[in-house]
A and B are shown apart, each in its own frame.
Chain A
Amino acid sequence: METSSAFDAGLVARYDVAGPRYTSYPAAPQFRADFGESALRAAARASNEDPIPKPVSLYVHVPFCFSPCFYCGCTRVITRDRSRAGAYLERLYREIELIAPLIDRDRQVIQLHFGGGTPNFLDAGQMQELLESLGRHFAFSRDGMREFGIELDPRYADAAYVGALGALGFNRLSVGIQDFDPAVQGAVNRTQSVEQTRAVLDAARSAGFRSVSVDLIYGLPKQTPAGFARTLEQVVALAPDRIACYAYAHLPERFKGQRQIIAADLPDAGTRLALLGLAVADLTAAGYRYIGMDHFARPDDDLARAQEAGTLQRNFQGYSTCAQCDLIGLGMSAISHVGATFSQNARELPGYYAALDAGRLPVVRGLDLDEDDRIRADAIQQLMCHGVLDIPGFERRHALDFGAYFAAEIGRLQALARDGLVVVEPQRILVTARGRFLLRIIAMCFDQYLAASQQTAVRYSRAL
């Protein structure tokens, strides 16, 4: 209950400013077009050379969706034509064949994640073929603790399909809900019943999935506290292991699909705050622990345990319990994080296909992190995942004097300290219970690129 009482609506409203979500630092808008295929190849080769090379995490992007959810900001292709999957898979196999040989075979894949789009656009047979290809080209870990996860749209998946995924080795399922309120579902073009959702979650449990999670969004058109409270009640009754509750970011100039949303239907700032407050209160009252950012988990879930053990990581899927991995992103728009580099594949099908048809890796932009980037990424990781930055340990890791190196940043943190978001001590920086609702704001203090990006009009979603 300590968590919900720490939620301070007035404070959160005051810090309602735009900023990155820090699934990476530097954030994706900093990626540059001069980082291409040869840079990724060099990074992949170098990643084999550490005394103990990192294990591997694979991300597979399936961009297709049967119908457009209007709120969505993901890169996706709307089609009902299932045959389009064949052409895509053909390119995906080529990409796997090009990149897998760059990774030494004794480096195990301990994490695999399918995202989209809608991964269940692929039928069970295609899924099996894809998993077999990945298993042939990469060394899958056989450890039961490996995380093989997939996002599913329950409107297009039945129990047999979920069972087939379990048999292929998937052990984590993530399901979009957003809101069960029919008025909201109509306004965002996503009609999905509680029963459909329950059927998929039940199927996952009986197929032996270790963790099931659901996504909610607050700030959607026509959303009301009363309707959202009912949704939260229904979600708690479904008893998922994890719940993500994201803020809707209305950026119609950037995401075309969002232009279908009528701006007048959007809740005002006060209502958005009430919705978030409701989620925090109801979910913590139901026994979920607030992990940070948008994430809640049951205390016995791996995510909550990892946070307790100090092994939590932040990556493109949000939070993760895996040790630091080299991430290889496969598919249109997928992001890789190999060594000290980020790179992203072509964000449209024609570019993605053309590169692979020419026998090239489809990288279009990326970034080779310099020493300062790596130092700041570590600081942000410590604060977002562990809620604490141990200064002596940090100084040892990076051979620096924290106070001198981050003099300006500590100054910015002092302002947040006055609002009770952080405690700045000589030996550590501690995120308070209140501060955990504003992790982005705390992380932004360490972001070297923010001042510059505000001048060049990079648009980020709002912090709340």
Chain B
Amino acid sequence: MVHVARAGRRPAPNPIADDGDERRFCSTCAFGSVCLPAGVDKSALNELHMLVEHVGPYRAGDPVFHHGERFGAIFAVRSGMVKTRLNDADGREQVLGFHLPGEMIGLDAIHPAQYPCDAIALDTVYVCRFSFPALATLAARIPDVQQQLFRLLSADIGKAARYAGDHTADARLAAFLLDLAGRYAARGFAQNAFRLAMPRADIANYLRLAAETVSRVLRRFQDQGLIGVDGRDVELKDVAELRRLARSLLHA
């Protein structure tokens, strides 16, 4: 992280995927589980490490890749948050998703070898870049790498359509917060307190709500004691009630 060191300062509240070492991948990385099964060939692991490139920092608003750009690599977010989006013919933005530390972006570009969207840093972002030709070659040789790649690909399918149905604003926002909490938990981070790095307009766009509706519902959640909001920091206080509100989406 780029914090000026000062006595007494704890790590920033926004988590960073740990950097791993030559024996294991970052424990928080979506690709890291490749290395977890016992008996992984050490030389294979080394080869995998060889093709990872640390890139960054990107500043808020910087693109990690552009729509239409030739596909050459997939990325894992190391720290910060990345937004994927598309602009329609009229230039209207459609937010496709938010990507947390440890999560992969660019998987949907494998076919037709072009990035189908823009990936934009929402705050200070570092990523790991996996050259795809090299990764594909490695996957052909090492079953664990291939399996993990398939797992990631199938998990990526159908993620985008989640908020397309007919759901109330309460359900959308409750599901959105629980989804983020779950994803932070899956990577081993604190799950009930996190930072919303994205502007509220992006949350609104993603959930297909008006920006003022996002704020109105969050304020009501706060007044009801379901969440606490302090600037961009959110704390989930009544997960059970949020689950109840989100049930139409969670079971969809």
Contact = CB atoms under 8 A, between A and B. Distances in A.
Interface bracket on B: 20 to 34
B165 interface: no
A48 B232 CA distance: 11
B232 A51 contact: yes
Contact of A405 (B7, B211, B214, B231): B7
Contacts of A406: 8
Interface stretch (A87-95, A114-122, A348-356, A393-401): A393-401
Interface string A399-431: 111111111000000000000000000000000
Given A50-B231, A53-B200, A104 B211 contact: yes
B81 interface: no
A300 interface: no
Contact of B229 (A52, A399, A402, A405): A52
A241 B156 CA distance: 62
Most buried by A among B10, B214, B218: B10
A106 B215 contact: yes
B10 A400 contact: yes
Interface bracket on A: 20 to 34
Interface in B222-244: 222, 229-232, 234
B10 A399 contact: yes
A265 interface: no
Interface in B179-230: 196, 199-201, 203, 211-212, 214-216, 218-219, 222, 229-230
A49 B199 contact: yes
Nearest to B60: A46
B229 A401 contact: no
Contacts of A48: 199-201
A405 B215 contact: no
A51 B196 contact: yes
A158 interface: no
B39 interface: no
B13 A399 contact: yes
Contacts of B12: 399
B111 interface: no
B212 A106 contact: yes
B9 A51 contact: no
B112 interface: no
A373 B231 CA distance: 16
B6 interface: yes
A404 B171 CA distance: 43
Contacts of B231: 50
A50 B232 contact: yes
Contact of B203 (A51, A106, A404, A407): A51
Contacts of A400: 8-10
A403 B8 CA distance: 7
A372 interface: yes
Contacts of B203: 51
B152 to A, nearest CB: 29
Q: What's the dominant secondary structure at chain B's contact region?
A: mixed
Given A51-B229, A52-B218, A52-B219, A399 B9 contact: yes
B119 to A, nearest CB: 19
Contacts of B232: 50-51
Contacts of A49: 199-201
Nearest to A407: B7
B200 A51 contact: yes
Nearest to A405: B8
A288 to B, nearest CB: 33
Contacts of B158: none
Most buried by B among A48, A49, A397, A402: A49
B37 interface: no
Contacts of A104: 211-212
B91 interface: no
A49 B8 CA distance: 30
A240 B230 CA distance: 36
A105 B210 CA distance: 12
Contact of A399 (B11, B196, B201, B212): B11
Contacts of B10: 399-401
A52 B215 contact: yes
Contacts of B11: 399
Contacts of B199: 48-49
Given A49-B199, A106-B212, A399-B12, A372 B229 contact: no
Contacts of A405: 6-9
A401 B200 CA distance: 31
B153 to A, nearest CB: 32
Most buried by B among A48, A52, A405: A52
Contacts of B201: 48-49
Contact of A404 (B7, B200, B215): B7
Contacts of B212: 104-106
Nearest to B232: A50
A400 B201 CA distance: 31
Contacts of B200: 48-53
A51 B214 contact: yes
B72 to A, nearest CB: 32
A446 to B, nearest CB: 14
Contacts of A397: 230
Interface in A364-384: 372
A241 to B, nearest CB: 28
Contacts of A401: 8-10
A374 B216 CA distance: 27
Contact of B211 (A106, A402, A404, A407): A106
Given A400-B10, A403-B8, 19 more contacts: A49-B201, A51-B200, A51-B203, A51-B214, A51-B215, A51-B229, A51-B232, A51-B234, A52-B222, A53-B200, A53-B215, A104-B211, A106-B216, A372-B6, A397-B230, A399-B13, A401-B9, A404-B7, A405-B7
13 contacts: A48-B201, A50-B232, A51-B214, A51-B232, A105-B212, A106-B211, A106-B216, A372-B6, A399-B9, A399-B12, A401-B8, A402-B8, A405-B7
For the complex of A and B, 8 pairs with smallest distance between CB atoms: A405-B8, A404-B8, A49-B199, A106-B212, A399-B10, A401-B8, A404-B7, A52-B215
